[in-house]
Amino acid sequence: MKATLILANGAVFRGDAIGVAEDRVCEMVFNTSMTGYQEIITDPSYAGQGVVMSYPLIGNYGVNREDDESSRPWAEALVVRHLSPMGSNFRCEGSLGDHLKANHIVGIEGVDTRALTKLLRSQGTMNGMITCAEHFHVKEVMDRLAAYRVSGTVERVTRPEKEVFPAEGERKRRVALMDYGVKQNMIRCLCRRGCEVTVFPAHTAASEVLGGGFDGVMLSNGPGDPADNVEIVREVRALYDSHIPLFAVCLGHQLLALATGAKTHKMVFGHRGGNHPVKDLGSGRCFITSQNHGYVVDADSVDPAVARVSHVNVNDGTVEGLRYARPGCFTVQFHPEASPGPEDTGYLFDRFIASMGGDR
C-alpha cells in the first residue's frame, strides 16, 4: 500500500505504508542513531512526535520485550528508508513491522530520509501528516498541520500511581523518582547502585515526596514544552527549597531551571541521537552522549548566584548541564542512562549516590 508524508512547508514524500494504515498528524523530528530504534519508539519523550530515522536500514535485528523503555511505544509515527522484513539476532522475538502494527503506529518506508533529514535540519522541526489516501485536499491537510501542537504529553505518559522498585543486592539508599516520562533504564541504573526507587506520578505534591523519608530525589526525562508544566514547576521549586539531594535529566533539568528563575526556548531542530559530544567544564573531559530534546535552557538567563553551567554541547555551545550553588543539586540535558546510546556519563549516577552520603 502506498503512503504519503506531507509536511507543513508543503514538501511531499511518497513511499510504502508500514504499521497501521490511517492518517496521523504529528511533529516530525529526526534521530541520527544507527541502532536503538526499539528504545527510541518506546521512549515517552517522543509522545506526539513522528521519528525520521536518518540511518537507512532499520529493523535488521528485530524487537524484543527486554529492550522496551516503557510499557508501550509512544512515538506516533516512524519514517525510514528501508524497513527490514525480518530481524536477525538471537534475542529477536518479532519484526519491527509487526511491532508497529500491534502498537497502532503509522509509518512510511522508501522515503529519501537523507533529503528529509536535511530539510528538517535547515528549516526546522515541523508538523507533518502520513496518509494512505490516494487523493487528499492540500488545504485541509495544511489546516490540520497548522492546528496541531504537542501538548498535554506529560499527563499522558506519566504512570497513574506510585510504584516501588527494589534495590539490587543490599539496599543502601531510598530514592524518589518523579515520572515525567521516565525511561525504564533510568530506574535500573539506580537499582543497580543499591537504591530502592519509588516512582511517583508527575503531579505528586512535593510535600508527599518530602514526607517519605527519602535520601534523594531524581527528576526524569519527558516530552513537550517544559514551560507548559506550570503546576509541576511549582512543586519542583518546593523540592529545591527543601535542600534534599536533587539530580535531574532532560525535561527534569529544564523544569528545575524554570523553577529557579531561568528560561527555556525551542530549538530549531533539537538534539536526537547517540553521538552528541558534551564537555564537562569541571573536568575538561569530552563525552559522547545520548540525547533527545527539542528545548534548551537559555545560558544567559541562569542566575550565577543560583547555578553555573557545568556541561556544554561541543557542536553548538548550548547548555547541557547545571551545577547549583545549593549543596547536592545538579542537572544534565543529555541521558546518562542512554538506552539507546553510549554509557560514557554513567558516572553522574555515582555522583548522585555520593551527594546522598555515599554507600552508607
For the chain, which residues make up each domain, given as ranges? 2-150, 154-355
Q: How confident is the model at residue 343 (pLDDT cuts 50, 70, 90)?
A: confident
Secondary structure element (H or E) that encloses residue 358, with its range: none
Per CATH, the number for 154-355 is 3.40.50.880
Q: What is the per-residue pLDDT for 358?
A: 65
Residues 6+ apart with CB under 8 A from 202: 154, 155, 158, 178, 179, 180, 222, 229, 232
pLDDT category of residue 339 using cuts at 50, 70 and 90: confident
Residue 335 annotated to the active site: yes
The percent of residues in the chain predicted with pLDDT above 90, rounded, is 96
pLDDT above 60: residue 274: yes
> Which of 26, 189, 250, 329 is flagged as catalytic?
250
Grid cell digits, residue 319: 547548555
The DSSP string of 238-293 is HHHHTT--EEEETHHHHHHHHHTT--EEEEEEEEEEEEEEEEETTT--EEEEEEEE
Give tens-digit pLDDT for 275-330. Answer: 999 999 999 999 999 999 999 999 999 999 999 999 999 999 999 999 999 999 99
- Stretch 8-36: mean pLDDT: 97
Q: Which of 76, 196, 320, 337 is catalytic?
A: 337
pLDDT digits (tens, 9 = 90+) for 34-85: 999 999 999 999 999 999 999 999 999 999 999 999 999 999 999 999 999 9
Q: What is the mean pLDDT of residues 246-252?
A: 98
For this structure, is 250 an active site residue? yes
Give me the count of residues in the chain.
360
248, 271 Cβ separation under 8 angstroms:
no
- Encode pLDDT of 193-229 as tens digits: 999 999 999 999 999 999 999 999 999 999 999 999 9
Decide if 2-150 and 154-355 have a common fold.
no
**Is 265 designated active site?**
no
Rounded to an integer, what distance in angstroms lies between the CA atom of residue 105 and that of residue 19? 6
Pairing between β-strand 246-249 and β-strand 216-219 as defined by DSSP bridges: parallel
Q: Residue 28 — very low, low, confident or very high, per pLDDT cuts 50/70/90?
A: very high
Which grid coordinates belong to 29? 523530528
Domain made up of 2-150: CATH architecture = 3-Layer(bba) Sandwich (3.50)
C-alpha cell at 290: 545520548
Give the residue-averaged pLDDT of 162-173: 96
Query: What percent of the chain shows pLDDT beyond 70?
Result: 99
Please state the rounded mean pLDDT for residues 95-105.
Answer: 97
